[in-house]
Every structure is written in structure tokens, then in C-alpha cells.
Structure 1
């Protein structure tokens, strides 16, 4: 998106203008030029870059000329000082005149001497950075080098030049040299300059001063080494492997290795490395220190012999006598919770051995809650896109993305882990399983915004089906709705029991959009759906789904879910990159997006309202999308690409010719709010084009989001389900509906209010849908609608029903004005295709179809052959001219 925004237009006033006289011409208001925008403009940066480069060149020429003309110009500058700049009768020899002589004298004589050339370099790197528009040279690093060079070079030149006439070191160098020479003498000054220069070179280039090591000389043994037997080899290797930290002399090695003392050879053991010289005890101690502290655990101890009291921290720990009293008084009450800060804090001597009936209970840590920091999160500036030969966003270069201030933060509290609630539910689960003689090894809890997942590790020999069949019994013991058992959890060796929380947390869409995962995502169509049980944001790519099927009973969150998906896309995509086709049989759910018609919506030509509510228009729109899909496939075929991403990359790099019908293809997202109503009223007329789009439209950037509250088999047919791998199920009324939408039960056990199951990439995940309220959607739509948009909504191809054309005869007397041009295109290409006329002549489907029918009536092309192109009866342009002359 271009940043060239020198002028901003004031938004139109919302006050009525009934009193304005339409016959009186009004004077246009002059646009304001703001200083802040002028400073940020890239043209201003380029102008500044040219100025700095000119200043660098000017100083370089002036300084170089001063080296040869300083004797003639010095007395004039000394005599008149700065007034020499305005004295026309004073002649100087500097190539850049009086100003060059004055500036050079000021830098050389009163400043830094020859080191003044560093200013030319400084102005040069600033100018290059400004012109290129990015950091070619690091300013701060070069400033450090320039400051050091000014001090070092000026002092060194003053020291070397001595008391010559020319100011080689300038006033600064002379002053530093005079003080240093008086302080440490000339020899000390020379040594300081030498050390300073070497230190800078070492710091800059990091020289390697390693002394070359002499190569060891290889001396052949005087007597051949006798062969070593297997027993000898074993005894030789054993001491070395057993004690790597012990050094040995050759004589010791020979004695310990059992070598013969008959001069038969000496075994030399190489010196051990520094790491090997450490004692074994020290190594073991270091490994213990480097072992990270284990997370906090809540260990449940069943009543065996002793009971462990509730210990919350070291300060509140009970003494041994108090522990005994507690165990005596509470022995009849059952087990308590033992909370450890870390496992390593427990002394080894006080660890109680684990019995066979012990069950470990752990509360797993969740992802860092971002709701506390949502108010402080600042959306990072969008990185500037690389400069491409063609940028589709330049049509709306002033477009601004919505800010997070338009959304409300509904998450008042973070996820609270109520220890008493967790302990109560854990005891109820354990008691229920114990009543049926089911023993477990470990139980852990993960607290989410809506439900808590208890993971159970059953004991050896326990059948999973026994625990699965106790679903109703566990729900009865917990007195909770929405108990769901996952046996087993995919990818884990545990069984999951999802229990609703007493206090539920609202997942705010604002926090999800402000998260780093969403802001830095490189997905084509990122959508923020909700949060998992472990508080992790679930953000998916609609382009990879590639279509989404949503179902759920009335009032369970489908409309909020659709708004969540649409607002996510509005916060991430530019109007040139994305278009929506909204179908709303209810006529009230998607009406909020009417304000963004000229930015993000698509419609049929000639329609007034971009949001489709009439069933007949829905059929026409779906068939128009099928035509658009076919046209895009034709474009991909001509471009030699396989998907929309490759095609747009070619078009951006200007490898495709717009004169041949090529254009930038935005993503198109079809949203149908109530699919069941369309099936009931239109039936096959709606199902067939949707099935075509679901099967073929992915590669050309057309994606579907379909929602319904009746997930029955006559609404969601097998053809549709097969092409919707990504599905979202809110709470449904029966297990049959859950199996219809997800192919598995579980959706009937959800608790509603945004609680949902998402089937994506072969996984079934339980989420709490992000919440966005109606006023927030209105604010976002108004913010986008108030900005300058396109002249009209994105126009889909025209579609004419065959029933409307029945009984109508085609007359050649009333030919289309483009008839002759269309005939020549067909004959030249020898291809009787309607899409060819659409691309070459930039026509809609209706007009191109009428032209093809007129060409058929004139005998130029043959009859319609379905999906194949018509036959061209005229082979040469000369024959075509004869036919056209006969028609005149």
C-alpha cells in the first residue's frame, strides 16, 4: 500500500443539504497539506537524500581545492571573517568561491584538519539511506567510527605535522596534541596514538594472533609391537574406560595394561582434555544443578496408612507435631491435597515412597493469558510490502485498516483456577471410578475459558470402554451439564473428561486480533476462531481449509461465529485482495456489512443491493460464481499456472498482458447464513452450483462458508460433506445431528453460548468461540465505509437463465454494435468460445452470449455443444468479409 498521501479529503458531512441550490456551482475546497504527512512522505525523503548527496560532493570539492589554495585564501578569510561571503570585490582561488573558501577554512583551520573529510562520508551515507528508502548504512555505528576518527586522525596529523604552516590536525588536533605532549611527552603521545590505532583495528577487524603450533614429529618404534590378544586388549581398555580422569605415565600404563616388560613396545596414553580432568563427583553435582526445576504438582494421596496435610507454602508449613495432630483429627475425612512448590525443594530423606494405590494429580499450566495485556497492546505497524512493478492496492492507496479501538474488551477477568472446584471435581471422578473398581495412576487438570479437561491415566489392565460407559454416572456425580469423555485423547495415552466451569470466561475477539500470532501471520485468509482449553488462540487459514461448514441449534452462536470470521478478514486484508458474496435469507443478520459494499462486496450487474436475500437471485449469483470460476481457470490455463497464488505473482511481475484479458484476481468468499432455507425453496438449483464450487473453486481463490441450523442428511448431502473437510459444530439437539456434521458424536453435549467443536486437519478440537458484539461490527463497517472506495461493488459475470430465453428468436437486423469485431476475433482464433469474447472484449456473460447467438444465426459458428467450444464455419477473413458485406 502506497504511503504517498500528501492530500487528505475531508469526510462528507452527514447533515442534510436540502437548502443547497443545485443550479449554483460551489467552489471546491482546497485540500489541506499537513506537516506530519509531508514529513513522512517518501518524496520528501528522496529530496532530502539528494540534498545530502549534493552537500557531500560540495564539501569534498571545497576541501580538496583548499589543499592547494589555502595560502592564497587564508589571509582573506582571516581579514574579513564571515563578511567575506558578501564582498564581491574579494577574489578567492577556491573552486567553489567565497563560500567554499570560508567553509573549508572553518573545517580545516578551526576544526579538525584533514579529518574533516569524514563529514563528506557522513553526508553521503545519510543521503543514500534517504534515497533508497531503507537502512543501507547503519547510522549509529558509522557515527561512532566518525567521532573516533575525528579525534584520532586530527591528533595524529597534528603530532606528525609538527608546527608546519598548514593545519593538518586543525584547532582540535593541535589542542589535544599540545596537552598530551605536555602531559606524557612526545614519546608517550606516540605510544598512545599507536595503541589507539591498534586497538581500533583489533576492534574493527578482530585480528587473529594465534601462534602457529609446531607439528609433532612421528618416530617409528625401534622394535615391532607384538600382537595383542583379545584378553590383552580387554585389560588394556578397561582401566582407560573406567577412569577417564586419571593420567598415567607410560611405565604405569604398561604395568596396568599387563604388557610384557621385555621391551616389546610402549603404549602411550594421550593427555586427557580439560573437561575429562574433572572428578566424577563434581560432574554429577553440576548435572544436578543444571536440572531444571519441575513444575508445581498437586499430588493426591489415597488413605493407606498416613495422610498428608494441605501445605500451601513454606511459610505456612506445619510442624511435625501439628502434622500428627492434623492426621489424627482428619483421618476419617479422607485424603487432602499436597501442594509442592517444586520437586527439588523436597529433601531426599523426607520423600515418602510411592505406594501401589497412589494417584498423582497435576494442574497443567496453560498458555499465557493475553487478556490482561490487551489494553496495552499496540498493533505493530504493518511492514512495508516490497516494491513490485504492479500493486493492486494503489487503487485505494489511502485505505486504512481498522484499529483495535473499534472493538470492545469483553474479557473482564482472566481464567481463574479455583482450587476448591478442581479438588471437588477430582474427588467426585475418583469416587465414581472407585465404585466400579477402576483404578488409575494419575489425573491432571487443564483449566480453559469454558471447560476444564481432566486427563486420566488408567492403571494397567483397565479397559477404556469401561470408563467410556460411565459418562452418565460421572455427569450425575458432578451435577453438571455437558460432560464429554474422550477415550482416548488422540496423540496421548490418556482419557479426557471435559467438565464445564462454574465461572466461565468470555473470549474477546479484540484480544485474539491483538495477539502476535494473528498480527504476524502470513496466511492468505487468516481467521481467528476461538481459544482452546489450554488458552491457546486457534487461528486458521481459510484458504487451506478450503471451505467451512457450520451447524448448530438456534441461539448457540452461529451468527456470532460468522461475524467473527468476517471481522478477522476485514482486519487483515485490503479491499483489492478480498471480496465477499453475502447470502442472507433472514435479511437481517448480514445487513451490517452493507456499508462496505464499495470496498469488499461483490454482486451481479444491475443489482441495487449487494447482500442477496431473494432465492432467485441466489441461484443467479451461484451460477455467476461458477462462470467466474470457469473464467479464472481459463486465465490460469493461458498463464501456465496452477493456482491463484502463482497467477497473481506472475501478474504482479507484469509477466501477463492485460490486453489479453488478464487481471489481478482477488479472493472471493461466499457466505451463506441459512443454507437449509435455500435447500427447501430452491433444492437442486442451489445444491448443484454449490457442489461445483466446493469441488473446483479452491485453486482459483473462491472459498465457501455455509451455516445452517438443521444439519440433517437432506440438507447437508454427501456431495456437499465430501468437499467440506473443515467443519464447526455448535451445540445441536441430538447425536444424529452431531454425526451428520462431524461424523462423530459429542456436539450434543456442548453447553452452548459459543462452545463448539472444530474438525480440521483430521483433529477434533473443542473451542470457545471469540465474541464480537453487533455495535462493534457496526463500528468496523462504518470506519471502512467512510473511506474512499471503488465506484461500485465488484461485479460478477452476468448470468441469464435458459428459461428466460426460451421462445425468443434471434434477429440479425438488430445486431450488436460489436458484432463485426466479435466475428473477426472468432475467425482469427478459430475458437467459438463465449469466454474468449469476454476476455478479449471485456464483456459480461450476457452480452457475449448474445453475440455468440447472433454469430450462430449468421452461420459464422456452429450450434452450442455444451462445455465444448463451438465449431467455426468460416476459415479465412476473406470469407468473413463476404458474409459481413451480405448482411449490410
Structure 2
């Protein structure tokens, strides 16, 4: 019976374990996850929150302390009267910027604490906050704590000693107490000597000052300094040249715990997070990240465990060791060993620093630097000696010159690029990013054995994965050994022309015709010399930035050149784009004689103007030939040094810039009549200071012929509609992938560079033109040589009755010089070749010169001016 009872008792628990069938109508509450305090403390988000709190506390104390310096007299009596209850009294008004709490906190730290030395608490909160937020040891915690404790005691006592009986608590209660006790023990003189000695000792301990008398010593072998020593100096804010130390023991002090210069870097500091952003693996909701301060002291541990070296004071001085052979420097530091092959974490990601061009914001006027010339030179700018260059205030600052880097966007695009390439079994070693105002350049280093053409063919796939327009692949980047992928930024930065003109590169440029075009991807200003281009061809679809680009070039020249040094010939078939520059007609514009408007809009007048420029080009080449010079710069240098005689037709030659806003319209209406003079100017005019800027909407082969294109080595392409147009203008594709609004490619010096064109608005151009137009100018615009079309002279006989109005003047020029040359009439009278030839035929008919003798000059039959006057009077 007893056995049966025991068996029944053993069977009962099994029946209790059987759970009843769950009812579908009853809902069980979800089990809440348990949050452990230890995991919460170690969580990375907790550290970042604490870091933000400490940074806010540092800022709060700094503002409260600074306000206390100015409001302590008004707030001190209120804090004294109410003590801590002042925090909860609404009827008490204080002057501190942070209210009653700020007044009470400042009073407690300054008056009852350490005085002005209380600012060290702000520094303490700051370094703690930075270490928590970054998640690594940016500042060495315990070393800074030691400095802060010493500074609190030393500074409070020093300020109390120097302030004497001042009403302001310079040293606080602690400083006064220390100063009173030490002064009673050592006296005031002894206290002062003690403070001076303590300060000098701290400087020696901190900076290891050298008090040796300078002696000439033989150069010792330079020790190889480890990387950790340089990082230690950077953490403490020290900038020392560690590699130039005369010996090992001079730099590494054994009392500080420093080890000899044989050290192995910690793996966690092999990469600088400021430059290397390596994606971390996704962690659990509570990642176990070590706190930034729970770190072993590497100096002592590694010195004992790895080095195990001892230094004896009684040992003989070490002999200079031979300089060891430097170890080969790896081109790329390998990342830590991956856990899984072919993952995103294998690729090192680097964000390159943005180039910052130094600017001078205080510059109001741009004064060009003039070359030194001999005594009493000719100065062409004295014609308008009171001319003032436009100030930078006339231009607006449309955006910040700084480029904001979005780390999340960079990380996302980097991962998308790596994933897309990985889907096609393309592995890469490294990827780096350079953030520009409009696009970001991602440079990738493919793994060994990867063909570049495979990556080039994935252009559309990468654009699809990034969901972006304007993806452009450069395979490879010339001179870098990498493959570039240009991705448009989500937030684009406007490049302001004012910032570019204020840059040091533009202000102090020695270029003949400096033009500020735009900024590169690395934020560097692209400033070129139009005189060395020497001509510029611009193309792009409607509304992509051609007109703004022309205004940018013209305004750049107006800010740098004097009216006597530069003239514009503006051709505007649209009749509205360049009309703003009409105000500077008497300063910078050139036109045909007898014309009312200096801005040419009629096609027939354009043909006459281009042929007049060809005549001016021929006249200038004749002047260069007589002067024995090869280009306009040498000629003007001779003229300013008064080595050329103006009586022989020599004159100062300003630069002439021909600007055509819409070249395609001229070709469609005039055809060969425009193409031929343009081709002549493009081929020959560069040496005599005539330069061309031509813009067109559609750069087709029938508009930009091979003859014109061959003489325009510098070309700018804004966004075009097709790859064919891009190849027409640049001889390569890529312009069809631009994103518009000033995004451009420039082909210059055999290199294609992507720029963001500088922006200048129409009101700014109008302000600059009005500023120049209101000043005193020349009596008239710069007159080009007269051109008479042969079609207009057809059917007319060379009779003396219908002689040219300039007949008598031409006869006197020929007789005075005793040279029957058509080119002489062109230079002296600024005539075209056709009119000068007709005058020479009329002079032959009158018997003043002889017949044509081929390449030789005609013989002059009239020898004196008196004989000439008789002939002219007989013809009346």
C-alpha cells in the first residue's frame, strides 16, 4: 500500500505540468523586454547623451561666468541677502544673462570658490563632453584633470596675491585662504617667489625647456620617432618637431613614463576617425561600447610588457647609433582583419579636406600691380587719372564660402556604390570622397585584376542605385591612378562671384586678363588668364548658365583692368543680354566710326565690325613689325618706356575682347561672311591682344566648323542635350550628364575639369556698370578702323570729281613721308584696306604717286608740300 501511495504521489506532478488548451478569445499581454542597467550604461547612445549634457553644461557655465564679470556688483548683494532662496523668489531681479540660477552659480564658483580660475571647470566639462560624444579619447582625461587641479590652486592663489584688497573676487575664497596662510608663513616676498618658482617649474615640466648654452655640436643620428609620440603631442595641444630631436633621452623623459623610441601602435589608433570613416557592423539594440575613460595606461603597461628596457643613471653615455634604414612606407594602411569576406566594412572610406582659398574681406577696391619702368615712363591710365575701380560692396554674397559636409549622405552614397559594384563581382580596395559645391567626387581604387571598362559600363546602374541625375564616371583620373565617380549633392552651394574676386589668388594675380570662372570640386577657385587661352568657346542648352557665365567673365575683367588697358566689342543678336553694358560705352566699349550704339545687334553691322577688327589686327601687326617686337606685351613695354615714336604712328595698344553671345544665329543669317573673319581672328589675333569669347546654344558641326574649333583650345560646356553635342564642343562625352544651373566642364591645357560657375545677378552687373558709367570717361568710345564693303563700291569709277573726302589728307601724308604705301595710309589714318587702296588709285590718277610696282612702294612724284598745295588748288 505504501508503495502504491508513493507511485501516485510521483504521478501527480506530471499532471500539473499539462497546460490547458489556449483559448482563442483570451489575449495574453506581451512580455516587456528587460533592460539591464549595465547594458544601458555601456550603450553608445547613453554616452552621446551624456556628452551633449556636459557640453551644454560647459556652455552654460561659460556664459554665466562671463556675465558675472560685468554684473557682479548688482547681483552680489541679492545673493548675499537671500542665499540659496534667491533661486525661488520671483520678486528678485538679477542682471546675469542666465537669470537667478546663473547669478547664484557664478557667485558660488567665483566668490566662494576659485575666482577667475573657475573657468577651468568649463574646460573640464568640455573635454568630458567631447570624449563622450566622439566615443574615443580625444583628450587625455587624467592628465587634463591633473592640470586642472594644479591650475585651480595656482591661478586662484596668484590672482589673490596680485589683486590685493580688490572688491572683485579675483582669487575667490580658496585663493584668499591660500594666500593668507602662505603670506603669514613666508611673507609677501616669499609668496611671490614661490609663485614664480611654481610657474617656472610647471613650464619646465610641461614643455621640457632647454637652458643649455648654444654650442656647435656634430650632427647626431636622428632617431625614428614612433607615431604615438606625435599623437600624444597633438592631444596636449603641443606643436613640437619630434623628428628633429638631438637625442632620445632629451625628448623622452623617464619621469613622465615615456618609453624609448621603439613602440608599437595600438590597433584602435591606426586609423584617424577624422579622415577614415569605416562602416561598423550593425549591433544589437544595446551595443557594448567601452566608455571613453575606462582605458589602460599604455605608457606603463607596454613599456613593462613589450619593451622591458631599463635606463641606469651611472651607465656611460650611449654612442651615436648608425642611422637605421627606413622601413618601406605602405601606400595604404590595411584595415583590421574582417570577420566575413566581401562585406562593406572591408573598404576604407576617406573624406578629403576641402580646399579653402584665403580671402581678404576688407578689400574695398582692387588696385592692379603695375610693373616697374624707367624714369618718366608713359602711363596710359593718366588719361583717366581719377578713375576708381569698382568696390566689392557692389556685389552680393549669395552664399557661404564654406561647404557643409553631410556625413550621412556621404556614408549612404559610399555604401550604395560599394554594393552596386559588389553585385557585379567588382571589389575595390579604398574609396575616398571630395565634397564640392555642387557634386561630390568619389575616388575608388579597384582591386588587382579589375578592368576599368567594367566599372565604366556601370554608369547607369550606379545612377539608378543612387537615385541621382548627373552621374559621371572618370576612368581613370589623370595623374592619380584612381577612378572617379561624380555624384550631385542633395544640398548645393551657390558660388558667389564676390567671394572669388575677394580671394588672394585673384587680388594679387599678375595675369594680363584674369577671369574668375568658378570653383573646382575641392572648393579651389579656378582663375585663368584669357590672354593665354587665348580664345574661349562656350556652349550649352538654353537656361543652363551661358549668359551668367559671360557676365561673370566681363565683371571679372572690369574689376581688374583700367579703361585704357581693355576694350570690349559686344555682339548681341538677342538685343537684351548685353544691353546692361551700354552705360560703360565711353570707358570700355569699342565701335565703328559713325555708329550710335556700341553694342552691335544688326547682322550687317556685325560683318563690318568683324572685318574692322581684322583691319585693326593687320595694323597692329605692322606696328609690331616696325617696333621689332613679337607680341603686344613687348610692344606696350617698349611704348611705355618711350622707346617708340608716336609721330611714326605708334600708340599704346589696349587689349580687345570680342564677345558674341549667340554665334549660331550669325552663322544662320550671314554664313561665310561671319565665318571667314572669325577664323582669321582666331588664327592670328592672339599675339596683338585681340581675344574672342563666343557662346552658342547648339554646338553642331555646321555651326562650329573645324577651322574655328582648332583655334579655340579653351572650351566651356554647360549642360547639353546629347552626347554628340558634348563631343562636338569638348571632343569627349560628359556634358550631357551635367545637372545645369552653372554646372560646367572646361577643357583647358589638355585637361577637362568640372566647375561650378560663379554666380552674379543682373542687378549686380547693373550696379557695377552704373558705378563705372557715372565717372568721367573718354569723349567717345574706342573707334575701330573704318570698313567699306566692296559691294557698296561696285559700279563707281575712280574720277577726281568724286574723290574721297580724305583725299587731301592722304596726299599730305604720302608727300610728308615720301612713301607711296597703302599700309601707311591704313596705319596713319586708321582706314580699311579697301578704302586705302581706293585713295591710292585716286592719288595715282592725280599724278601724285606713280603706278603700282607690285610688292614695292609706289614712287612719289610730288617732292614738297608747296607743290602739293598747287596741285590741290588746281583741282578745286
Superposition TM-score tier, normalisation by shorter sequence: 0.5 to 0.7
Q: CA deviation at 1:812?
A: 1.7
Work out whether residues 860 and 872 of structure 1, in 8 Å CA contact, stay in contact via their aligned partners in 2. no
Q: Which runs of 5+ in 2 are unaligned?
A: 1-213, 224-243, 297-333
2:650 is aligned, of 662, 681, 692, to: 662
2:361–2:502 CA contact under 8 A, matched in 1 = no
| 2-structure distance, mates of 1:308, 1:393 | 74
Corresponding residue for residue 863 of structure 2: 877
1:368 CA drift (Å): 1.9
The residue aligned with 1:591 is: 579
CA shift for structure 1 position 855:
1.4
C-alpha spacing 1:880/1:739, structure 2 compared with 1 (3 Å): farther
Q: State which of 381, 385, 398 in structure 2 corresponds to 1:393.
A: 381
CA–CA separation in structure 1 for the residues paired with 2:548 and 2:262: 53
1:761 aligned residue (746, 749, 753): 749
Which of 702, 712, 735 is residue 723 of structure 2 equivalent to? 735
User: CA 1:577–1:211 in 2, change beyond 3 Å: closer, same or farther?
Assistant: closer
SS in structure 2 of the partner of residue 787 of structure 1: coil
Q: Contact (CA 8 Å) 1:738, 1:745: kept in 2 or not?
A: yes
Counterpart secondary structure, 2:800:
coil
Deviation at 1:813, TM superposition (A): 3.8
Spell out the pairing of 1:806-845 with structure 2 (5 A cutoff).
806-813=794-801, 815=803, 819=807, 822-823=810-811, 825-826=813-814, 831-840=819-828
Aligned pair 1:297/2:272, yes or no? no
Gaps of 5+ in 1: 1-209, 214-239, 244-272, 321-349
2:672 to 647, 672, 684: 684
Kindly indicate whether the alpha-carbon contact (under 8 Å) linking 2:785 and 2:830 is maintained by their aligned counterparts in 1.
no
Write out per-residue CA displacement over residues 713-738 of structure 1, whole angstroms, 9 at most, x where no aligned residue: 00000000000000000000000000
Tell me, yes or no, if the aligned pair for 1:661 and 1:842 is still in contact at 8 Å: no
Structure 2 CA distance for partners of 1:841 and 1:764, relative to 1, 3 Å:
closer
Q: CA deviation at 1:870?
A: 6.5
Secondary structure at the aligned position of 1:530 is classed as strand
Query: Which of the numbers 701, 711, 714 marks the counterpart of 1:713?
Result: 701
Please report the TM-score for the alignment, with normalisation by the length of structure 1.
0.61
Aligned positions, number? 591
CA positional deviation for 1:824: 6.2
Aligned-residue offset at 1:839: 3.1
Which of the numbers 469, 487, 490 marks the counterpart of 2:478?
A: 490
Q: In the alignment, what sits opposite 1:505?
A: 493
5 Å-filtered alignment, 1:314-329, equals none
Counterpart Cα distance in 2 of 1:573 and 1:314: 63
Change (3 A) 1:507 1:211: closer
CA distance in 2 between counterparts of 1:523 and 1:366 reads: 26
Q: Deviations over 1:361-406 (max 9, x none)?
A: 0010011277xx7866655765576575211011100000000111
Q: How far has the Cα of 1:414 moved from its partner?
A: 3.3
Is the CA contact 1:302–1:359 (under 8 Å) kept in the aligned structure 2? no
User: What SS does the corresponding residue of 2:707 show, helix, strand or coil?
Assistant: helix
CA distance in 2 between partners of 1:425 and 1:398 (Å): 56
1:413 shift after superposition: 7.2
- Aligned partner of residue 368 in structure 1, secondary structure: coil
CA separation in 2, counterparts of 1:874 and 1:279? 93
Aligned to 1:101: none
- The reply to whether residue 797 of structure 1 matches residue 785 of structure 2 is yes
> In structure 2, what is the equivalent of residue 608 of structure 1?
596
Residue 628 in 1 paired to residue 606 in 2?
no
Q: TM-score, normalised by structure 2?
A: 0.62
Q: Secondary structure of 2:437's partner?
A: coil
Match of 2:772 in 1: 784
What's the CA shift for 1:830? 6.5
Q: How far is the alpha carbon of 1:845 from its aligned partner?
A: 6.4
Tell me, yes or no, if the aligned pair for 1:301 and 1:307 is still in contact at 8 Å. Answer: no
Alignment match, 2:625: 637
Determine if the alignment matches structure 1 residue 540 to structure 2 residue 528.
Answer: yes
Whole-angstrom distance in 1 between the partners of 2:291 and 2:849: 95
CA deviation profile, 1:278-333 (whole Å, cap 9, x unmatched): 79999995799999996822343586xx979999x99879999xxxxxxxxxxxxx
Kindly indicate whether residue 441 of structure 2 is the aligned counterpart of residue 453 of structure 1. yes
Q: CA deviation at 1:354?
A: 6.7
Residues 1:380 and 1:741: Cα distance change in structure 2 (over 3 Å):
closer
1:840-884 deviation digits (Å, cap 9, x = unpaired): 45667676444223113235556779xx75751556738995997
**Residue 476 (1) aligns with residue 464 (2):** yes
DSSP 3-state at the match of 1:534: coil
Structure 1 residues 494, 212: closer, same or farther in 2, change over 3 A? closer
Please give the alpha-carbon distance, in whole angstroms, between the structure 1 residues aligned to 2:222 and 2:382.
Answer: 74
Contact map agreement 2:365 2:390 (CA 8 A) in 1:
no
**Distance (Å, rounded) in 2 between the aligned partners of 1:580 and 1:242:** 62
Other structure's SS at 2:688 match: coil
Change (3 A) 1:308 1:411: farther
Q: Is the 8 A contact 2:790 2:834 kept in 1?
A: no
Q: What corresponds to 1:856 in structure 2?
A: 844
CA distance in 2, matches of 1:657, 1:375: 44
CA deviations 1:611-656 (Å, max 9, x no partner) are 0000000000000000000000000000000000000000000000
Output the CA distance in 1 between the equivalents of 2:519 and 2:286: 33
Cα 1:810–1:314 shift into 2, 3 Å: farther
Q: Which residue of 2 aligns with 1:725?
A: 713
2:497, 2:467 → 1: CA distance? 31
The residue number in structure 1 matching 2:514 is 526
* Pair 1:649 & 2:668 matched: no
CA contact (8 A) 1:863 1:871 kept: no
SS in 2 for 1:699: helix
Residue matched to 1:751: 739
In the alignment, the residues of structure 2 paired with residue 771 and residue 594 of structure 1 have an alpha-carbon distance, to the nearest angstrom, of: 21
Distance 1:661 1:377, change over 3 A: closer
Q: Quick check: 388-397 or 406-415, which moved more?
A: 406-415
Distance 1:727 1:562 in 2: 13
Tell me how far apart the structure 1 counterparts of residues 291 and 855 of structure 2 sit (CA, whole Å): 86
Contact 2:365/2:389 (8 A) holds in 1: no
Shift of 1:811: 2.0
Aligned-partner SS, 2:500 = helix
Structure 1 segment 208-607 matched on structure 2, within 5 A: 275=246, 296-300=274-278, 352-353=336-337, 358-368=346-356, 386=372, 388-412=376-400, 414-607=402-595
